[in-house]
Amino acid sequence: MSAAVEEGDRLAAAATTRRRRQSGALTHAILLLGVLAVVFPIWIAVVGSTHDASTIGRGDVPLLPGAEAVENYATALTGGAGRFSSSPATLMLWNSAAMALLIACGKIAISLLSAYAVAFFSFPGRMVAFWTIFITLMLPVEVRIIPTYQVIVDLDLFDSMAGLTVPLMASATATLLFRQFFLTVPDEVVEAAKIDGAGPLRFFRDILLPLSVTNIAALFVILFIYGWNQYLWPLLVVNDRSLETVVVGLTRMIGTGDAQNEWNVIMATAVLALLPPVAVVVAMQRWFVRGLTETEK
Amino acid sequence: MRRRVIFRGTALPLLLLAPQLAVTAVFFLWPAGVAVWQSVLQQDAWGLRTEFVGLRNFAEVLADPDWRAAAWNTAVFSAAVAGLAMGAALVLAAQADKSIRGARAYRTLLIWPYAVAPAVAAVLWLFLFHPSIGLIGRALNANGIPWDTRLNGGQAMALVVLAAAWKQVSYNFIFFLAGLQAIPKSVLEAASIDGARPVRRFWTIVFPLLSPTTFFLLVVNLVYAFFDTFGTIHALTGGGPGKATETLIYKAYVEGVQNTNLGSAAAQSVILMVLVIALTMVQFRFVERRVHY
């Protein structure tokens, strides 16, 4: 009798394991499919960047890399080949890196300062300042392109790195995030610093900044990507090709999308354009996920 | 929320705020004001005379069949991008939340397309779906499905939707996964003991508990589809063929930059501002709820 019950239990357990294993296989299948869909366009771009132009022009893009990688990337980096002579990618990558770093650092710096002022001081106009900053959150560049562009022209910032970066530096999200974090710093810490004779600037530099390092790192990842991926703004504000960023330069290489384009060089440039921000995300994944979920709160 | 212990002084905090306020005033408030001002003015054909026309620009924009077509395109495009990107992300997040081997590796592989610029994503998808050189585009043509995004508006729309949604899946995935991980396992175990099967558990427990995340993501995805996909459309189709993929933001750009029709462009910008402010308000009202749910 009890042996039969045990036998039944054993069978039931085996069935559960089997079901679990099946659902495990399904889970893996779905995830693999997702990864495949995510990776495939990039893989084909990488493959495309390692063949010669005529193979691609004939429409015979293979599924495996070819032997022309070095040549294609060299052409892309030095630029100037083909019918649509483009700026060298070295220059465009440099411009993108400068733009992304300036925007990220600038945003972090001015947000830290203004969040500090709003969180640690009591002064007339504090709430007005806070709301003024808050409003910027609601007006993305895209909806005020034309008038902002006119301001740039009036200030003689057209075709300059300053025109490219400064207008994108005001950031409500970063300010709100830092303010939120500053409000969690216990009053005792501030009191102790005051008793020890630290002034506001000393307190900011020696106590608050070291405490904010993780937040700064998290924000940096998000803002670097934000800066690197800018499109409409550089398209409008920069005409001088020596200031061209890689994302804009890449789309200019396509022209009207002819089959006769040097697609191998274009794809090499595309890979170069997506590599730096992807590298930042993969290298700083922990901070990235944190930064993303925190800034959106 | 205010702190008890604060520093005294007025000059220093104002000095600290100065850079942020200066940038905000010069590049945000002033241009936004100018846009509102220009939206009630109209220039004559030679740009010599400007007159006050009240709300005529708005009336003209709203009555313009091209603008209405762009509004419809935007609605279709945004709904498709949000639906596709969120649906795919939810399915993937629900799988990645299970305790399986290699979960971390899957997560890493699904997260990084976030970093790819919309315009670069457009180039990648163009290369795949190009009618004569693209791997998939050619395969479609070879198998009797005439595929050419430069001729067929519906296909062009499908391609920009794919390219825009592809990039957004990773963002949604991160948030759905965080949302799923925040659901107490005890609740699911209790349901499981009561005999609820996984599918039933998902729809009766997980999905309702996830609704704040879903709603938040819906707003974010709509904002993304409205504004951030300018690069995708500009690089992939240029709004064409015809005006089949021209969205509102793209139209405002064409009107202001290419046709230099300032009054109309400004009116369109103001309409977009109202739209984005409304969306942001919805998001913030809801964030309050999200924290306490």
In a domain, A212, yes or no: yes
Same domain? A9 vs A145: no
Question: What is the full DSSP assignment across chain A?
Answer: -HHHHHHHHHHHHHHHHHHHHHHHHHHHHHHHHHHHHHHHHHHHHHHHTTS-HHHHHTT---SS--S-HHHHHHHHHH---SSS----HHHHHHHHHHHHHHHHHHHHHHHHHHHHHHHHB--TTHHHHHHHHHHHTT--GGGGHHHHHHHHHHTT-TTSHHHHHGGG---HHHHHHHHHHHHTS-HHHHHHHHHTT--HHHHIIIIIHHHTHHHHHHHHHHHHHHHHT--HHHHHH---GGG--HHHHHHHHHTTT-TTS-HHHHHHHHHHHHHHHHHHHHHTHHHHHHHHHHHT-
In a domain, A282, yes or no: yes
Residue-level pLDDT at B36: 84
Residue-level pLDDT at A163: 87
Compare CB distances from A142 to B28, B114, B230 and report the shortest one's residue.
B230
Residue-level pLDDT at B183: 84
Compare CB distances from A110 to B14, B19, B120 and report the shortest one's residue.
B19
Q: Which residues 52-91 of B have a C-beta within 8 angstroms of A?
A: 88, 91
Same domain? A94 vs A209: yes
Beta bridge partners of B220: none
Same domain? A64 vs A135: no
Banded pLDDT at A98 (limits 50, 70, 90) = very high
What residue numbers bound the domain in which A32 lies? 2-78
- Rounded to whole angstroms, how far apart are CA atoms A124 and B55? 38
Same domain? A172 vs A216: yes
Mean pLDDT of A271-284: 89
In a domain, A84, yes or no: no
Residue-level pLDDT at B110: 87
In a domain, A37, yes or no: yes
Say yes or no to pLDDT of A168 above 70: yes
Residue-level pLDDT at B293: 35
- Classify residue A256 by burial, with Cβ atoms within 10 Å: 0-12, 13-18, 19+: exposed
Same domain? A61 vs A96: no
B contacts of A278 (beta carbons < 8 Å)? 112, 115-116
In a domain, A273, yes or no: yes
Same domain? A62 vs A100: no
In a domain, A139, yes or no: yes
Quote the tokens at residue B187.
């609740």
Same domain? A60 vs A123: no
Domain edge (last residue) among A78, A111, A146:
A78
Residue-level pLDDT at A53: 78
Task: Please report the ipTM that was assigned to this predicted complex.
Answer: 0.84
Higher pLDDT, A278 or B56: A278
Quote the tokens at residue B236.
């992939």
- Rounded to whole angstroms, how far apart are CA atoms A248 and A268? 15
Same domain? A19 vs A101: no
Nearest chain A alpha carbon to B33:
A147
Same domain? A155 vs A262: yes
Banded pLDDT at A68 (limits 50, 70, 90) = confident
Residue-level pLDDT at B108: 84
Same domain? A73 vs A130: no
pLDDT tens-digit map of A210-235: 988 888 888 888 899 999 999 988 98
Domains of chain B from N-terminus onward: 61-292 (1.10.3720.10)
> Chain centroid to CA B215: how far?
14
pLDDT tens-digit map of B113-170: 889 999 999 999 998 888 888 888 888 888 888 888 778 888 889 999 999 999 999 9
Higher pLDDT, B65 or A258: B65
Domain edge (last residue) among A78, A105, A131:
A78
Q: Which of A46-60, A89-103, B85-99 has the lowest mean pLDDT?
A: A46-60
Banded pLDDT at B172 (limits 50, 70, 90) = very high
pLDDT tens-digit map of A12-64: 566 566 555 566 788 888 888 988 888 889 998 888 888 887 777 777 777 78
Same domain? A34 vs A58: yes
- A281/B111 Cβ within 8 A: yes
Say yes or no to pLDDT of A145 above 60: yes
A contacts of B91 (beta carbons < 8 Å)? 30, 34
Compare CB distances from A41 to B109, B124, B130 and report the shortest one's residue.
B124
SS (H, E, C) A109-177: HHHHHHHHHHHHECCCCHHHHHHHHHHHCCCCHHHHHHHHHHHHHHCCCCCCHHHHHHHHCCCHHHHHH
- A146/B257 Cβ within 8 A: yes
In a domain, A199, yes or no: yes
In a domain, A83, yes or no: no
Say yes or no to pLDDT of A11 above 80: no
Say yes or no to pLDDT of B72 above 50: yes
Domain edge (last residue) among A39, A56, A78:
A78
CA distance A29 to chain B (A): 10
CATH number of the domain within which A164 lies: 1.10.3720.10
Say yes or no to pLDDT of A251 above 80: yes
Banded pLDDT at B284 (limits 50, 70, 90) = confident
Number of domains in chain A: 2
Say yes or no to pLDDT of B53 above 80: no
Same domain? A212 vs A262: yes
To 5 degrees, how large is the angle CA B256–CA B262–CA B263? 130
Mean pLDDT of B215-239: 86
Say yes or no to pLDDT of B194 above 60: yes
